[in-house]
Amino acid sequence: MASRVAASCLGTKSTSVSAVSHMQSCSRLVQKPAFAARLSAPAFTRARPSRAFTTSVRAAVGTMPGTVYDFSVTVRRGRELGGGLELAWKQGFHGLPLLRPWPPALFNLQSIDGQNVPLNRYKNKVLLIVNVASQCGFTPQYLELVELQSKFNSKGFEVLAFPCNQFGKQEPGTAEEIKAFAKSKGANFPLFAKINVNGSDADPLWKWLKGEKGGFLVDGIKWNFTKFLVDKEGKVVKRYGSTTTPGAIADDIAKLV
């Protein structure tokens, strides 16, 4: 109940209501005994504000885009003052701005050579993350990936390639064989250890990518050379199927670098 109440307060779609009005609405709910006993700070904090709400709060508080807010401070201060959220808001407790972490920063990868590579190494870069295979009908896309890397790398762009043998057993080779094949194609981008992209043992990064941008009908990866475009803030902007060539993505990349 608490999370639903918080979500209803923070998730309103009205763009004409000010941040204070939002807080007043929430305050009226919180002060009702039936709700007050159940609305804990963590539940309120977990609620995801709508874009309209965060925009209005940002304008009122003076924080920058990309900031998230922890309203547990406001809830707690309102209780201390005995007046709920509205009084806390008027007293200047507008929620604690928290810097949004770069979402992929938590992931650690393994290079094709077996070295640990924190994904944080590519922070503030535009990324095209793709599952590759050496014996696939889409393998010629390697050449276009090379072209994208050459064209945009100096502007803060990286192709990150992940060999995968889950589709048609089309990446059966050892790490050395995969590396040699990629070199024969002129690969000038980071190549990582072979992974699974579907199933319970799917790589955590790929689980996150699928969760951020689901596919048509199902979220699972359907075939080799599925691509995810991630912007400099760590947001998954687009997902592309195997039939979308890397060259066709160039305009989307150009808008982000």
Distance CA 122, CA 113 (A): 18
Could you tell me if 188 and 147 are in contact, meaning their C-beta atoms sit under 8 angstroms apart?
Answer: no
Distance CA 223, CA 167 (A): 6
Write down the domain spans for the chain. 2-99, 104-256
Per-residue pLDDT, 213: 82
Distance CA 158, CA 145 (A): 10
Per-residue pLDDT, 254: 98
Per-residue pLDDT, 9: 41
Per-residue pLDDT, 116: 95
pLDDT tens, 140-179? 999 999 999 999 999 999 999 999 999 999 999 999 999 9
What's the topology of domain 104-256?
Glutaredoxin (3.40.30)
Query: Is 9 assigned a catalytic role?
Result: no
Beta bridge partner(s), residue 161: 130, 191
Please report the sign of the dihedral spanned by the C-alpha atoms of residue 69, residue 237, residue 103, residue 44: positive
Distance CA 79, CA 227 (A): 48
Tokens 């309203």 appear where? Answer: 71
Per-residue pLDDT, 91: 63
Per-residue pLDDT, 33: 36
Per-residue pLDDT, 10: 40
Q: What is the CA radius of gyration of the chain?
A: 23
Per-residue pLDDT, 24: 44
Per-residue pLDDT, 214: 78
Distance CA 56, CA 59 (A): 5
Q: What is the pLDDT along the chain (257 residues), one digit of tens a residue?
A: 433 333 334 443 333 334 444 444 443 433 333 333 333 333 333 344 455 545 554 444 444 444 444 555 556 666 666 665 566 556 655 555 444 445 566 788 999 999 999 998 998 999 999 999 999 999 999 999 999 999 999 999 999 999 999 999 999 999 999 999 999 999 999 999 999 999 999 999 999 999 888 766 567 999 999 999 999 988 999 999 999 999 999 999 999 99
Residue 234 amino acid letter: G
